[in-house]
Amino acid sequence: MTAQLINGTALSQKIRSEVAARAAALTAKGVQPGLAVILVGEDPASSVYVRNKVKACAEAGLHSVLERYDADLTEAALLERIQALNSNPSIHGILVQMPLPRHINPQRVIETISTAKDVDGYSVQSAGDLMSGLPGFLPCTPYGCMKLIESTCVDLRGKHAVVIGRSNTVGKPMALLLLQANATVTVCHSATVDLKSHTRQADVIVAAVGRRDVLTADMVKPGAVVIDVGMNRNDEGKLCGDVDFEGVKQVAGWITPVPGGVGPMTIAMLLVNTLASAERTLP
């Protein structure tokens, strides 16, 4: 059996054009959705991520502001900038690119962003809303993974989902979203004994570890949906995920590639969150 490919690039383009149409309608009513992106320091990967986010905004008709600061920016100065953006009515979403330089406390920064503009969904309030099933901003990567799973038309009700990884930004919110969709959820992590015994039972597997070949063909039940969040480099220096794609695609029913799977969806969902934030400001 060869798995069907879940094409994150195509799905993200569809979502982005829907965002563009809604953004145009909102702009016509006098509210152009606006995103502020803050980058502190010169991390090359972060520079690429923020550039892509700003470009995606422009393509969808969103207004965006990119604020770049030297790595020696003080925490107090950063918090002051965030507070200014919190009270700027043309900005509906604020994103501070992680990681931050070591002298800046990331949680303090996240908690300074107004809950109404927390389009990354990283704040304690957003996490609490998700846990309680209240409306709020969903973290973009797990939100995008749910859209990818939805696109397969596999009904999650009663299915066994295994999430590998338990970070606050990916693994934990992913598990909560799968639970909300009525899956039975197992969360695995670095202390999990016999990972394979869990993944072999899974109808849906989300791998969010950051290590190549965490999931190989022998660990997958035939027909399973496999979502690969990981971003790693292979021996040739090319981008690859956590999943042994060539092996697992022979067993799985559905699989996301890397690149072209979860990555583009993360940016698309950031646009969705920013648009939703702007729409909420309408009377």
Q: Output 123 or 141, the one with its CB closest to ligand NAP.
A: 141
Contact range with ligand NAP by CB under 6 A, out of 71-79, 164-172, 177-185, 197-205 = 164-172
Min dist CB 256 to ligand NAP, Å, is 10
**Residue from 47, 52, 152, 192 in contact with ligand NAP (CB under 6 A):** 192
| 209 is a site residue for ligand NAP (CB under 6 A) | yes
Find residue 4's DSSP bridge partners.
254
Separation of alpha carbons 192 and 13, rounded Å: 37
Separation of alpha carbons 114 and 137, rounded Å: 12
| 257 is a site residue for ligand NAP (CB under 6 A) | no
| 35 is a site residue for ligand NAP (CB under 6 A) | no
Q: Output 68 or 211, the one with its CB closest to ligand NAP.
A: 211
Catalytic residue among 13, 32, 83, 97: 97
Stretch 137-156 residues interacting with ligand NAP (CB under 6 A):
141
Q: Output 46 or 192, the one with its CB closest to ligand NAP.
A: 192
Separation of alpha carbons 260 and 237, rounded Å: 17
Separation of alpha carbons 20 and 100, rounded Å: 31
**Residue from 14, 103, 108, 189 in contact with ligand NAP (CB under 6 A):** 189
Catalytic residue among 117, 118, 120, 172: 120
Closest CA to 177 of 204, 210, 202: 204
Residue 167 assigned as binding residue: yes
Helix (H) or strand (E) holding 279: helix 262-279
**Residue from 34, 142, 173, 230 in contact with ligand NAP (CB under 6 A):** 230
Q: Is the dihedral of CA 11, 278, 51, 167 positive or negative?
A: negative
Q: Residue 163 corresponds to which tokens in the numbers above?
A: 């999430």
**3 neighbors 248 (Cβ within 8 angstroms):** yes
Min dist CB 83 to ligand NAP, Å, is 27
Separation of alpha carbons 56 and 50, rounded Å: 10
Look at the chain and count its residues. 283
- Reply yes or no on whether 120 is catalytic: yes
- Reply yes or no on whether 97 is catalytic: yes
Find residue 76's DSSP bridge partners.
none
Residue 165 assigned as binding residue: yes
Find residue 163's DSSP bridge partners.
187, 206
Separation of alpha carbons 221 and 200, rounded Å: 5
Min dist CB 153 to ligand NAP, Å, is 23
Helix (H) or strand (E) holding 184: strand 184-188
| 166 is a site residue for ligand NAP (CB under 6 A) | yes
Q: Output 94 or 269, the one with its CB closest to ligand NAP.
A: 269
Which residue ranges are tagged as binding site? 165-167
Q: Active-site residue numbers?
A: 53, 97, 120
- Site residues for ligand NAP per CB under 6 A: 141, 164-167, 169-171, 188-192, 195, 208-211, 214, 229-232, 262-263, 266
